[in-house]
Structure 1
Amino acid sequence: MEPTSVVHSPGFAHHGVAWSPFYDNRIAIAASANYGLIGNGRLQIVSLVRTYSWLHSFETQDALFDLSWSEIHENQLVTAGGDGSIRLWDITLSEHPIRVWREHTREVYGVHWSNVNKGIFCSASWDGTVRIWTPERMHSMQAIPAHQTCIYQACFSPHEADVLASCSTDGSVRIFDLRAPSNLPHPAPAVSIQAHSGEVLSLDWNKWQPYTLATGSVDRLIRVWDTRMVKSRDNNTGAICIKELGGHEYAVRKVQWGNFAPDLLASASYDMSCRIWTIATPPGMPSLKAIYDKHTEFVVGCAWSLNDPAVLASCSWDCRTHVWRALM
């Protein structure tokens, strides 16, 4: 299994990759000098027509850990910064962002644009809060104290506009319904899952099955959850683990469901591999479909193509993003 394109930016470890929802062959990469520990960040926009070519590159004074394309404007996207900032960029304009928000007090590690309510996006920070934003406002619309520890990722449900989930260093996943009663300052979690014994680094909603969520953890496991509320033994709301996927040798840094099939899941790991799984196998049968091991450092991000159901992009601390055919 060989990459069809390799995007290399020496000196800048790649932290996140995202496909444009408007252009089939355009990706954006969030990158950082010195693995994000200290130094500059870089946002890179790449065209993958025939071979790859740089379209735009934007420098920042601190690391960039994540990014998300706008769902309403073809040339705009947001980035998550190590200095606690969120930046909105227009790739047709100058080298400066068109808006900067600085409400978070620690690193912003995740951003996600809703593809149901396309006018909003959320951010997840190590300050323990998830915030809801719209490009038209100078301040956040809502701040949710989702966890008492660092939050790695938050993402909106692709099925319900007011539902989002977050994951944290405390090993939990919390699901919020933003339609909280008006007398409450912020929504309480509708479902709280003690998902793993270690930090939960990533989560993703299944695009086809409304109540299905996948999580990846430092315990090297991927778990798939049915998030419909059930009563657990201690009378707390929870969820049912319907599949556990083991095989990675180190922490699972990223999970992402396929866009064209309900059973396919991709994962990226500190073991320097990406893996493709299916949850459709009967109990006792192997779920692993493919292993991609062409990176030479931690693989920290992966994203399925929005146009070709077999193509995946993976990004790594080896300063490279690979685009490869995950399914033959």
Structure 2
Amino acid sequence: MSAADENTLPQEDDGFEEMEASGSDEDDMEGEGENGESETKVYIPGLEPLQPGEELEMDRSAYRMYHECQTGSPCLSFDVVRDGDGEGREQFPLSMVLCAGTQADTALSNRIIVMRMHNLYGNDQEKEENESSDGESDEDDEEDQDRKPQLELAMMPHYGGINRIRVTQRGEQTLAAVWSEKGQVEIFDLRSQLEAVHNSSAMSAFIKQQKEATPLFSFSGHMTEGFAVDWSPKVPGRLVSGDCKKNIHVWEPQEGGTSWKIDQRPFSSHTKSVEDLQWSPTEATVFASCSVDQSIRIWDIRAPPNSMLSADEAHSSDINVISWNRTEPFILSGGDDGVLKVWDLRQFQSGRPVASFKQHSAPVTSVEWSPIDSSVFAASAADDVVSQWDLSVESCDVGEQAEGLKQLPPQLLFLHQGQKEVKELHWHPQIPGVLISTALSGFNVFRTISV
């Protein structure tokens, strides 16, 4: 279990931030042994503070892949754009496309960013072990250059900081739904940005335009800002959005792909701000919500305006995020109390979770089930930790564990550190085990040895 050192990335001549490969999970902590020699031990976040003079050191062997990048202003929300490079791909080098929105210092400085990361190699343990003190040869230098990660950014100016961004496919369209501090939910077509990050001539033309992002469609009916938004996985173009005044609206796509019909009568059973929304992966008309009012609710759009099911006082404080399992009847939630809870929808009305974990020491900021393993999920929190979990693990032989590890739940697979104020994470739906997280300090893209 570990922590990864934060690296400052240099700026490339072409204006893009360089991605640099680094690695680690089981970051070791060094101290003085009895003989004055350096002693290495595992550092467990939350159990003991670092002592004066102690530093965290990254252990590359704990990662199959680790990269990080920066995009200027921090992106506090992002989504993965599905691509045509294939499902279940694991062979290096890897590539991926993300869409993100910034929270800049001024409203005029914000951007909607489409980024393509490519030439992503895994951690080459064998090469590291064989590096000698004789110095690197010219061949090694050339190989390192060939393996250098690449990043292309297509950025559109957007007035107002972006609270949440979600991407979907509707026919040939790649659409982004954007909740911003202006109090509007806007829909953008990402075609020109996607062309730019894949083609140098298209990028040149895109840069010359440099015009402010123009939405296909926008909705101001919330009358305030919000954070909750989700595209339906069952009905292309169907959307749900929730605001800080407790109201939820469902959007129905119209023919042509450029307009939506939004019922002005909101779903309004919550009494405080709606923080997150998730469509059911199996029922086209059903979605879930969580709120500052400490409840999780299940809704059916055929029966507005009240929820069908409710777990009141699901957490002891604000519930920030939820995730609906793709294949099992489970919902995962995380709150300001730092607790992660798993809810079985077959027992939802009981108000009792089937699992509860208090590993994080600060409010949970993001949760998501793995898209390929229904028992695995990841979470992030304001304690600067990303955790990975596997509910299928029931027990382990604590007798063989290090003393500190005995205090950890057996379902906890991995603790990843190194970012400041982690805000959101997503598993890549097409690359098994790869997790992307964004924070004030930038993006991490990694796969641990645990998944």
Q: Scaled by the length of structure 1, what TM-score is found?
A: 0.88
RMSD: 2.1
Query: Aligned equivalents of 1:29 and 1:189: distance in 2?
Result: 31
One-letter code of the match for 1:205? W
1:91 is aligned to: 190
Q: Percent identity?
A: 20
2:152 is aligned to: 54
Shift in Å at residue 39 of structure 1?
Answer: 6.2
- CA 1:167–1:282: 2 relative to 1, 3 Å: same
1:8 is aligned to: 70
Shift in Å at residue 190 of structure 1?
Answer: 1.2
1:309 aligns with 2:440: no
Tell me which protein shows more strand as a share of its residues.
1
Are the counterparts in 2 of residues 305 and 312 from structure 1 also a CA contact under 8 Å? yes
1:204 is aligned to: 323
1:172 is aligned to: 295
Query: Aligned equivalents of 1:20 and 1:326: distance in 2?
Result: 22
Q: Scaled by the length of structure 2, what TM-score is found?
A: 0.65
Structure 1 runs (4+) greater than 4 angstroms displaced: 37-40
1:234 is aligned to: none
Query: Aligned equivalents of 1:6 and 1:305: distance in 2?
Result: 15
Which stretch of the first structure deviates more once superposed, 89-98 or 152-161?
A: 89-98
SS of the equivalent of 2:169 reads coil
Which one has a bigger Cα radius of gyration?
Answer: 2
Are the counterparts in 2 of residues 256 and 265 from structure 1 also a CA contact under 8 Å? yes
Shift in Å at residue 304 of structure 1?
Answer: 0.2
Query: Aligned equivalents of 2:379 and 2:232: distance in 1?
Result: 21
- CA 1:152–1:266: 2 relative to 1, 3 Å: same
Are the counterparts in 2 of residues 88 and 100 from structure 1 also a CA contact under 8 Å? yes
One-letter code of the match for 2:356? E
Count of residues in correspondence between the two structures: 311
Query: Aligned equivalents of 2:308 and 2:150: distance in 1?
Result: 44
Q: How does 1:1-328 map to 2 (within 5 A)?
A: 1=24, 4-10=66-72, 12-23=73-84, 25-34=96-105, 40-50=109-119, 51-72=149-170, 73-93=172-192, 95-136=213-254, 137-141=259-263, 143-180=266-303, 186-193=304-311, 194-209=313-328, 211-228=329-346, 237-282=349-394, 286-295=410-419, 297-318=420-441, 320-328=442-450
1:233 is aligned to: none
Are the counterparts in 2 of residues 122 and 130 from structure 1 also a CA contact under 8 Å? yes
Shift in Å at residue 192 of structure 1?
Answer: 0.8
Gaps of 5+ in 2: 1-23, 25-62, 86-95, 120-148, 193-210, 397-408
Are the counterparts in 2 of residues 250 and 270 from structure 1 also a CA contact under 8 Å? yes
Gaps of 5+ in 1: 181-185, 231-236
Are the counterparts in 2 of residues 191 and 229 from structure 1 also a CA contact under 8 Å? no
Tell me which protein shows more helix as a share of its residues.
2
One-letter code of the match for 1:304? W
Are the counterparts in 2 of residues 69 and 76 from structure 1 also a CA contact under 8 Å? yes
